[in-house]
Amino acid sequence: MTKDKKILKYQILFVILIIISIVSASYAAFSTRISGLEKGVTMAIGSGLVEINYDGGPALNAPNMYPKEEPAITKTFTLTATNTYGGMMNYHLFIVMEYNTFRSSALTYTLDSINDNDNGEVVPEITTQTGIKTGERKIFLGNGHFNITNEEDITHTYELKIYFPLIEGFDHSIDQEKEFGARIEVREGEVYPGYNEEKGVNHPVLFTGMTQVKWDGTTEIETTEDDPDWYDYNEKRWANAKSQDGSYWVWIPRYAYKIESCYHTSGEDCFNLTGKEAGDINIKFLKSTTNITEDNTIIETTGYEAHEKDTSMHHFLHPAFQFNGDELGFWVAKFEASAHEGLSSGVASCSGDNVTNKSPKIVPNVTPWRCINISNAYKTSLMMKDNLIYGWQSAELDSHMMTNHEWGAVANLSNSPYGANGKVWNNSFVEFKTGCAASTAESTSELICHEYKSELGVKASTTHNIYGIYDMSGGAWEVVMGNYNNIVGISGFTTEEMSSINYKYISRYETNLEDMLNGVSMAYNPNIYGDATYEVSENAARFNGTNYIGNPVSAWYKGFSYIPYRAGHLIRRGGHFSSGYGAGVYNFSYGAGNIVYDASFRPVLTPLS
Residue 171 falls inside a structural domain:
yes
Residue 150 falls inside a structural domain:
yes
pLDDT reported for residue 38: 39
Residue 501 falls inside a structural domain:
yes
Residue 127 falls inside a structural domain:
yes
Residue type, 325: G
**141 and 223 assigned to the same domain:** no
Residue 332 falls inside a structural domain:
yes
**174 and 296 assigned to the same domain:** no
> 84-93, 95-104, 221-230, 540-549: lowest mean pLDDT where?
84-93
pLDDT reported for residue 29: 37
Q: What is the pLDDT of residues 471-525, one digit of tens each?
A: 999 999 999 999 999 999 999 999 999 999 999 999 999 999 999 999 999 999 9
**178 and 229 assigned to the same domain:** no
**473 and 361 assigned to the same domain:** yes
Of 150, 173, 188, which one is at a domain's C-terminal end?
Answer: 188
| Strands 62-63, 108-115: pairing kind | unpaired
Q: What is the pLDDT of residues 75-116, one digit of tens each?
A: 999 998 876 666 788 899 989 888 888 887 889 999 999 999
Whether the CB-CB separation of 132 and 108 falls below 8 Å is answered with yes
**161 and 273 assigned to the same domain:** no
Residue 25 falls inside a structural domain:
no
**575 and 443 assigned to the same domain:** yes
**Helix segments in 136-266, DSSP class H:** none
Predicted confidence band at 14 (pLDDT cuts at 50, 70, 90)?
very low
Q: What is the pLDDT of residues 291-346, one digit of tens each?
A: 999 999 999 999 999 999 999 999 999 999 999 888 999 999 999 999 999 999 99
Of 132, 164, 188, which one is at a domain's C-terminal end?
Answer: 188
- What is the number of structural domains in the chain? 2
Say what the pTM is.
0.79
Residue 9 falls inside a structural domain:
no
608: three-class secondary structure by DSSP? coil
Cβ-count burial 530-549 (b if 16+ within 10 Å, e if not): bbbbbbbbbebbbbbeeebe
d(C-alpha 11, C-alpha 9), whole Å: 5
**66 and 115 assigned to the same domain:** yes
Residue 140 falls inside a structural domain:
yes
d(C-alpha 266, C-alpha 262), whole Å: 8
**Helix segments in 291-431, DSSP class H:** 374-383, 404-414
**54 and 145 assigned to the same domain:** yes
- Percent over 90 (pLDDT), the chain: 73
**231 and 374 assigned to the same domain:** yes
| Strands 542-543, 548-549: pairing kind | antiparallel
d(C-alpha 129, C-alpha 609), whole Å: 12
Q: Which domain holds residue 466?
A: 194-609
574 CB contacts (<8 Å, ≥6 apart)? 471, 472, 473, 474, 475, 477, 478, 583, 584, 585, 587
Q: What is the pLDDT of residues 375-428, one digit of tens each?
A: 999 999 999 999 999 999 998 999 999 999 999 999 999 999 999 999 999 999
The alpha carbon of 151 is separated from its chain's Cα centroid by a whole number of angstroms, namely: 44
Of 146, 170, 188, which one is at a domain's C-terminal end?
Answer: 188
Give the up-direction half-sphere exposure of residue 441: CA atoms within 13 A in the CB hemisphere.
Answer: 13
**119 and 233 assigned to the same domain:** no
160 CB contacts (<8 Å, ≥6 apart)? 60, 73, 74, 75, 76, 77, 95, 109, 110, 111, 141, 184
Sign, CA torsion 508/514/515/516: positive
Q: What is the pLDDT of residues 157-204, one digit of tens each?
A: 999 999 999 988 888 888 888 888 888 888 888 888 899 999 999 999
**353 and 499 assigned to the same domain:** yes
pLDDT reported for residue 257: 99
Residue type, 122: V
**367 and 490 assigned to the same domain:** yes
